[in-house]
Amino acid sequence: MRELLPSLIDRVERGPVALARVVDVTGAGPREIGAAMVVTANGEVLGSISGGCVEGAVTEAAAGVIAGSGAVLERFGVADPDGIAVGLTCGGEMEVFVERVDRARRADLVALHRGIDAHRPVALVTTLRSTPEWRVVWPADEDDAADVSRDARGMARAGRTGTVGADDGRTAFPPRAFVHSFGPPARLILAGANDFVRALSRVGAHLGYRVTVVDARETFTTPARFPAAHDVVVDWPHRYLRRQHEAGLLDGRTVVIVLTHDPKFDVPMLAEALTLDDLAFIGALGSRRTHADRVRRLTETGVPPNRLRRLHSPVGLDLNARTPEETAVSIAAQILAETSGGTARPLARTHGPIHR
């Protein structure tokens, strides 16, 4: 829903729309909880909640919701392979909540959008009933949304998305509500200012990372050369990383990739990154000869072996990648596998559920 917010606000200005969100998933599902789709009165569809399995049924339900029939909670299970009933082919189940959104919701939508843009943790709590209530919850504000259940506030503060029940009968919310949390996006910090950085910044942005490109060479480090990056910083990479850490702007989702090909940049940056315990992934581009030289230099600077083992170098999966774009896919694939617990093996050679 994060990406749909600007379009949702725009469409609501023109008239009521239907907002469909996945509020629960059991087993294998095509989309995660929180996936959203908007349907307008003239049949325009924005976003996706299942990759095509149930969009038709949800679009039909949306027409009634827009007309004022009340919000609906639909559950979709396994489709009959020999029938024509709507369902999922992946073997799981999911619940989709479809509700009418009009100008009365605009203030909440704008507040949500501004909070996300400002990188403030924020959540939208919605009651799952025919006449839904909304509350925008700011987890940093202890006294905010006092009429929201304790469980819902707890989920919002933890940055989790899912359904909860009210903790007692005195709360304003009914027994079931959907907590849709929006925390700051994970960060991808790229050290260097070359074609590989430009390609990886594009891939990283598409994956939802907030991308920062940092290099000390002012001539090469310009926003025009890296249009996909959210931040382009002229500074020594290791100094920038240290200041970001001291400011509390790094967390356990932060990925750092060094693509400078120059020891005077990459060794200090990697030495700094390897001292930080709260980074999700640290990688460095280069040949095996470059890697061996880099490890020697890092050892000479005092980086201990247990820290060096955190370094993914040469970074990337074996895709026989040659171009910057192919290399970016190789690196991104390894980041996804390492940070999500994937094996990076072909699915045809693995067993068990595809979605874990």
Structural domains of the chain, with CATH: 2-182 (no CATH), 187-340 (3.40.50.720)
Band of residue 146 on the pLDDT scale cut at 50, 70, 90:
low
pLDDT digits (tens, 9 = 90+) for 281-340: 999 999 999 999 999 999 999 999 999 999 999 999 999 999 999 999 999 999 999 988
pTM: 0.71
pLDDT digits (tens, 9 = 90+) for 255-284: 999 999 899 999 999 999 999 998 999 999
Looking at residue 83, its pLDDT comes to 34
Looking at residue 196, its pLDDT comes to 97
Give phi and psi for 184, each to the nearest 5: -60, 140
Looking at residue 268, its pLDDT comes to 97
| Token reading at 356 | 């874990």
Q: What mean pLDDT do residues 332-350 have?
A: 91
pLDDT digits (tens, 9 = 90+) for 208-219: 899 999 999 999
Cα-based distances in Å from 42 to 51, 64, 72, 281: 21, 13, 20, 45
Looking at residue 167, its pLDDT comes to 42
Q: What mean pLDDT do residues 170-186 have?
A: 75
Looking at residue 187, its pLDDT comes to 94
Lowest-pLDDT range of 53-62, 73-82, 269-278: 73-82
Looking at residue 279, its pLDDT comes to 95
Q: Give residue 151's Cα distance to chain centre.
A: 23
Band of residue 84 on the pLDDT scale cut at 50, 70, 90:
very low
* Residue 89 scores a pLDDT above 80: no
- Per-residue DSSP letter, 111: H
Looking at residue 30, its pLDDT comes to 59
Looking at residue 7, its pLDDT comes to 95
In DSSP terms, which residues pair with 133 in a beta bridge? none
* Residue 171 scores a pLDDT above 60: no
* Residue 153 scores a pLDDT above 90: no
Q: Give residue 68's Cα distance to chain centre.
A: 33
Looking at residue 101, its pLDDT comes to 97
Band of residue 87 on the pLDDT scale cut at 50, 70, 90:
very low
- Per-residue DSSP letter, 319: S
> Where does residue 247 rank: exposed (0-12), middle (13-18), buried (19+ CB within 10 A)?
exposed
Give the relative orientation of helices 106-117 and 5-14 as an angle to the nearest 10 degrees.
Answer: 160
Band of residue 29 on the pLDDT scale cut at 50, 70, 90:
low
Q: Do residues 19 and 109 make contact, with C-beta atoms less than 8 angstroms apart?
A: no
* Residue 175 scores a pLDDT above 80: no
Q: Return the top range by mean pLDDT from 15-19, 29-33, 176-180, 251-255.
A: 15-19
Amino acid at 37: M
Q: If you average pLDDT over every residue of the chain, what do you get?
A: 88
